Amino acid sequence: MRKSPERRLQFILWVLVFAIAILFVDFIICMAVMYKSSDINYTDASDIMDSLSYNSGEYILSDEESTQLQKNNEFAFLLDSTGNITWSENMPESLKKSKYTLQDVAKFTRYYLDDYPVRTYIVSEDRLLIVGKLNADIWKYTLEYDANNVLTFLEITPVLFIFNIILFIFVSIRMYKARQRRIEEERVEWIAGVSHDIRTPLAVILGNAQMIPKESSIDEIKRKSEIIESQGLRIRALVENLNITSKLDFGTKRFEKTKVFLSVLIRKIVSNTINSLDIDAQYKYDFELNIDDEMQKYEVLLNEELFERAVVNILNNTIRHNPDGCQVYINLYKENKKTILEIGDSGIGVSAEILQRLNQNAYAETKSVGKHGLGLKIVKKVAAFHRWKVRFYNGEDVGFVCRMEIK
Amino acid sequence: MEKKDCKILIIDDETELSKVLGDILKSDGYTDIEYADNLKKGREKIDSTQIHLILLDVMLGDGNGFDFYEELKRVGIFPKLPVIFLSARDEDEDRLHGLGLGADDYITKPFLPKELLLRIGAVLRRCYSLDENTSDIILGESRVSIDGGIVKKNGDVITLTAKELALFSILYRNRGRIVTTDMLCEELWPDGSFGLENSLIVHMRHLREKIEKDPSKPIFLKTVRGLGYKMEKI
């Protein structure tokens, strides 16, 4: 499953827009929460001062305001310039000191007055009004901030933003890939299941088809049973190719590589292919194996199953497209220190258009399953798996050639 | 022991497949074939009669062939009773699992009858020293007796050496099929066959001299250039 570049771009743009949107929403939510929660209510200082009347050397707070303070669980007092309490309301006994020093004032202005959170107001030139809460958990900090740092913060914002986007893209891609992988695994299992279910009836068909000629002497019946057999074998190859494609494309299965003698393996594969042909076909196709002497004991690290599939597919391709027979040659030799495996025939060859398509790098990924369909695609996939180069071309005069550069 | 004395038990829930398997076996000279479409019946057959080989499907209605194989191993029917797994799954792990348990072979469906018979024959030969051919094999003017290890040609009796006889037997069993030089060397020299291709050529030449009318133009024991040898189907 490869995505087209447009789809990829679309995906990235979508992620970008989404990231910005999320960041924006986050910001708004954060501000709202902070604004809402930072709302600590003290009784308004001006309200207190307004309801405070000075009468014959004594301050008197209106009843209304007094109950308000009670209700809010607050206390309030006035300090004069010498540090004496000139008025107090609702004040805890422990705070009723005869004199508040400058140090005391400095302390409670910033922090707490004996653990009570307080606010200090300058109500006139020689008086301070202090309003405190009797039982409340309030954190107080003195905020000091270098104004220049705001600039640094502004500088950091884009970095932060980009980091966010990268994180977002990374997470979503991971999730997307995990999902894709799960779907692909399911597909592999599904294909494996289907091919499993096809195998048993196919075994019955092939078995019976091969028994018919032994039980009948009528030529027409023999011929027809041979057709059933050869078509059954075609289905078998198809099922195997399908299975192997899905495993190569999406499978989690690892294809183990082992060291094998290339010449021995090729002889085995070619013999098996010839042996599976019927007698007539064995005479129609003339197989020629040319393995250089120095290649006889040449070992290669490869996956046998895949390699066999690739070679069988090339041979089957030749046989299917040249039903009247042809020469088939398999050459294994060294060229400029490279190992070359050439499988070619003297058959009808293929059109330039198909050749061009076959040699496209992306051919293995294209969707078309035409006449030169799955079989040669697997050849390309197998070559890609081993990191070998593979090329298809027409022979000088006749035929079709597949050339593999084996590492 | 001959093929007709071998009792083969086929355990497969696909009765059509069992039937065609039986037909294939009968066409090759086996006569005594038992069928079971589940493990329970298979167990009964094994308990009641002398079975020589089991063809065992891996996935059956009432259980798994691998488990059944282990069960048979536990009750001590082995080591003598050979089992060949027949499976519609070609996953390497399955194949290795089956063979790892100790099964004699693992054949994937769909199989070619020829291939199946060859592999069954190979297992039976290994376990029971099966005599596949007690009658003489007639190749033109030569009559070859694998039992006696001799060739009768134009009234002469020529003895085959051990290697020649082995070579002839392999080619005869695979008649109509190419056997690669690599395979022949491996069978002839199991302890290490590398570089013995030339010896093989010599043995082959001697074999032809004893059997063929004109050894330089063999009719029956053909060379398949670059691949190996083949005995023509007779």
d(CA A176, CA A90): 64
**pLDDT for the residue B18:** 92
Nearest by CB to residue B226, choosing from A199, A205, A289, is: A289
| Bond from prior residue into A92 cis (ω within 30 degrees of 0) | no
Q: What are phi and psi of A99, to 5 degrees?
A: -150, 135
* Interface check A308 vs B, CB under 8 A: no
Q: What would the two tokens of residue A233 be?
A: 């074998």
Q: Does B90 touch chain A (CB under 8 A)?
A: yes
Least confident range of A368-372, B134-138, B163-167:
A368-372
Of A210, A268, A289, the CB nearest to B113: A210
Give the closest of A211, A275, A288 to B23, CB-based: A211
pLDDT-based confidence at residue A263 (cuts at 50, 70, 90): very high
Tokens standing for B194? 């590398």
Report the SS3 class of residue A159: helix
Q: B87-104 burial, b for 16+ CB within 10 Å, e for fewer?
A: bbbbeeebbeebeebebb
Determine which of A314-323, B11-20, B133-142, B214-223 has the lowest per-residue pLDDT on average. Answer: B133-142
- Please identify which residue in the block is written with the tokens 């030749």: A318
Instruction: Report yes or no: A228 at the B interface, CB cutoff 8 Å.
Output: no
Distance, in Å, from the CA atom of A383 to the CA atom of A360, rounded to the nearest integer, reads: 14
A210 touches chain B (CB under 8 A): yes
Angle ∠(B63,B66,B72) on CA atoms, nearest 5: 90
Chain B interface includes A33 (CB < 8 A): no
Residue of B109, B112, B227 lying closest to A270 (CB–CB): B227
Per CB-CB distance under 8 Å, the chain A contacts of B110 are 199-200, 202-203, 205-207, 232, 236
**What is the structure's pLDDT at A1?**
45
**Which residue would you say has higher pLDDT here, A150 or A370?**
A150
| pLDDT higher than 80, residue A189 | yes
pLDDT tens digits, one per residue of B15-57: 999 999 999 999 888 888 999 998 999 888 888 888 889 999 9
Residue A260 token pair: 């094998």
> Cα(A401)–Cα(A328) distance, rounded to whole angstroms?
10
- Listed in sequence order, the residues at least 6 apart from A336 whose beta carbon sits closer than 8 Å to its beta carbon are none
Residue of B nearest to A278 (CA): B176
In which residue are the tokens 């190719």 written? A241
Q: What is the pLDDT of residues B202-216, one digit of tens each?
A: 999 999 999 888 888
Across the range B127-148, mean pLDDT stands at 79
CB-CB under 8 Å, B14 with A204: yes
Phi, psi of B107 (to 5 degrees): -115, 130
Calculate the dihedral angle through the C-alpha atoms of B173, B176, B177, B180, rounding to the nearest 10 degrees: 80
Q: Do B113 and A197 touch (CB under 8 A)?
A: no
End-to-end Cα spacing for chain B: 24
Partner residue facing B226 (CB), from A232, A236, A290: A290
Higher-confidence residue: B160 or A38? B160
Residues 6+ apart with CB under 8 A from A131: A42, A43, A45, A48, A74, A75, A76, A118, A119, A121
State the nearest Cα–Cα gap between A200 and chain B, in angstroms.
6
Backbone angles phi, psi at A213, to 5 degrees: -60, -25
Calculate Rg over the CA atoms of chain A.
Answer: 44
A199–B88 C-beta distance less than 8 A: yes
Sign of the CA dihedral running A367, A370, A371, A374: positive
Of all residues in chain A, the one with the smallest CA distance to B15 is A204
Q: Tokens for B57, please give them.
A: 């499907």
* Cβ–Cβ below 8 Å for B17 and A196: no
Helical (H) or strand (E) element with B7: strand B7-11
- In angstroms, what separates the C-alpha of B224 from chain A's closest C-alpha? 9
* Alpha carbon distance, N-terminus to C-terminus of chain A: 27
Asked whether the beta carbons of residue B108 and residue A200 sit closer than 8 angstroms, the reply is no
Any CB–CB contact under 8 A between A147 and chain B?
A: no
3-state helix, strand, coil split of chain A in percent (to 5) is 55, 20, 25
Closest CB from A196, A200, A210 relative to B17 = A200
Residues 44-83 in B contacting A (C-alpha not used; CB under 8 Å): none
Q: What is the mean pLDDT of chain A?
A: 85
Q: Say if residue A361's pLDDT is above 80.
A: no
What distance in Å separates residue B2's CA from the closest CA in chain A?
Answer: 22
A337 versus A368: the higher-pLDDT residue is A337
Residues 6+ apart with CB under 8 A from B41: B11
Average pLDDT over residues B78-82: 71
Token duo for residue A223: 């011929």
Q: What is this model's ipTM?
A: 0.81
Beta-bridged to residue B84, according to DSSP, are B55, B105
A135 neighbors A84 (Cβ within 8 angstroms):
no
Which pairs count as long-range contacts for B180-185, CB under 8 Å and 24+ apart, including other chains?
A: B180/A264, B180/A267, B180/A268, B180/A271, B180/B227, B180/B228, B181/A267, B181/B227, B181/B228, B181/B229, B182/A264, B182/A267, B182/A268, B182/B228, B183/A268, B183/B228, B184/B228, B184/B229
Site from B19, B90, B114, B120 to mutate, A interface, most A CB atoms within 10 angstroms = B90
Query: CB of B161 within 8 Å of any CB in chain A?
Result: no
CA atoms within 13 A on the CB side of A248: 25
Residues of B in contact with A288 (CB under 8 A): 225-226
Chain B: nearest CA to A366, how far in angstroms?
Answer: 27
* pLDDT at B134 > cutoff 70: no
- Chain B residues closer than 8 Å to A297 by CB: 194
Q: Tell me the shortest Cα–Cα distance from A329 to chain B, in angstroms.
A: 11
Query: At residue A403, does pLDDT exceed 90?
Result: yes
pLDDT digits over A282-297, tens only? 888 999 999 988 888 8
Distance of CA A246 to the CA centre of its chain: 20
A113–B contact, CB cutoff 8 A: no
Interface membership of B192 toward A (CB under 8 Å): no
In this predicted structure, what is the pLDDT of residue A365? 59
Separation CA B18–CA A159 (nearest Å): 71
* SS3 per-residue string spanning A171-232: HHHHHHHHHHHHHHHHHHHHHHHHHHHHHHHHHHHHHHHHHHHHHCCCHHHHHHHHHHHHHH
